[in-house]
Amino acid sequence: MSVTPRQTGTVLDEIIAGVLTDLRGRQELVEEAGLREAAELIDPPLDPQRALRADGLSVIAEVKRASPSKGHLAEIRDPSVLAGNYQAGGATAISVLTEARRFNGSLADLDAVRAGVGIPVLRKDFIVTEYQVLEARAHGADLVLLIVAALDDAELETLYRLIRRLGMTALVEVHNAEEARRAAHLGASVIGVNARNLKTLDVDTGIFAELLPQLPEQTVKIAESGILTLDDALAAHRAGADAILVGEALVRSGDPAAFIASIREATSS
C-alpha cells in the first residue's frame, strides 16, 4: 500500500512526517517478509471486546511518557511494572505508545508490556502503512489504533482489513462527525472518540456526547483524552462510554492501581 503524500501544516501532519522518517530506518533493518513470518509464529491475539462491553466502565490504561501538548509526563523506568500495576487495579487493556519523537515511546516498550501482562495490549501510534500493522502483531499487540484523520478512505479500509486478517482488533479513532461517519461506514466494532483535536491539540470534552448518536449502537464506544479525575471518568460513563482510555492521569498518579480500581468500583453495579 502506498502512502498518500501529506503536506505539513498541522500538528498531525508533522507527527506523521516524523513517523515515516523513523519507519524507513526500521524497514532497512527488518524486511517485511521477516515481520510476516514473526507475526505468524507469535501467540494468537487476545480479543478485548467482551471485557470492554462488561458491566461498568472499562479502563484502557496507557503507558505514556510524554505528549505533544504537555511535554514530559513521567519517568517510566520499567513499562512492564507499570502495566502490571494497571492490571492489578482492574484495567481491561494496556495502551502502549510506540511513537518516539513526541511521546518518547518505542516498540521495546510494547515488548516489555506484552511480556508483563496477560490482558490485551494496544499499539498506539500513528499507523499509516501495512508494515506498522505487521510490526504491531509481530511485537504481540492485540489491538492497533487507526486514526481516521490520518488516513484517506482507501488507506483506512486496507489497514482495517489487514488488522482483522491478522486476528487483531482495530480501535478506530474519530474527532468529528465526518470521521464518525467514515468509521461507521467501515464497520468498525470499536470506536474511540478523542476529545483532543490532533490537528490543533485543542480539547473539547463535550465531543463524545455530541458524536455518540452517530456511532452504531453495537460498537464498543471509548472516550479518549481529557479524563484526569474520577469525576471525569464518571461523566464519560454517564454520557454512554463503554470504556475510557487514560494515560496522563495514571502516570502522574502515585497509585495508578487504586485510581483504576476506584473507577471500576464507582461504575459497576
| 3-class DSSP assignment, residue 30 | coil
- Whether the model clears a pTM of 0.75, i.e. scores above it, the answer is yes
CA distance 51 to 94: 13
Among residues 135, 155, 179, 224, which one is catalytic?
Answer: 224
pLDDT for the residue 43: 95
One DSSP character per residue, 63-110 reads E-SEETTTEE----S-HHHHHHHHHHHT-SEEEEE--STTT---HHHH
CA distance 154 to 146: 13
Among residues 99, 130, 155, 173, which one is catalytic?
Answer: 173
**Known catalytic residue: 99?**
no
CA distance 264 to 159: 32
**Known catalytic residue: 104?**
no
CA 181 distance to own-chain centroid? 19
pLDDT for the residue 199: 84
| Beta-sheet pairing, 190-194 with 169-174 | parallel
Domain 11-266: top CATH class: alpha beta
Q: What are the residue ranges in the chain where pLDDT is below 50?
A: 2, 4-7
Among residues 58, 80, 104, 194, which one is catalytic?
Answer: 194
The C-alpha cell at 219 is 460498537
pLDDT for the residue 8: 54
**Known catalytic residue: 194?**
yes
Among residues 58, 62, 135, 197, which one is catalytic?
Answer: 62
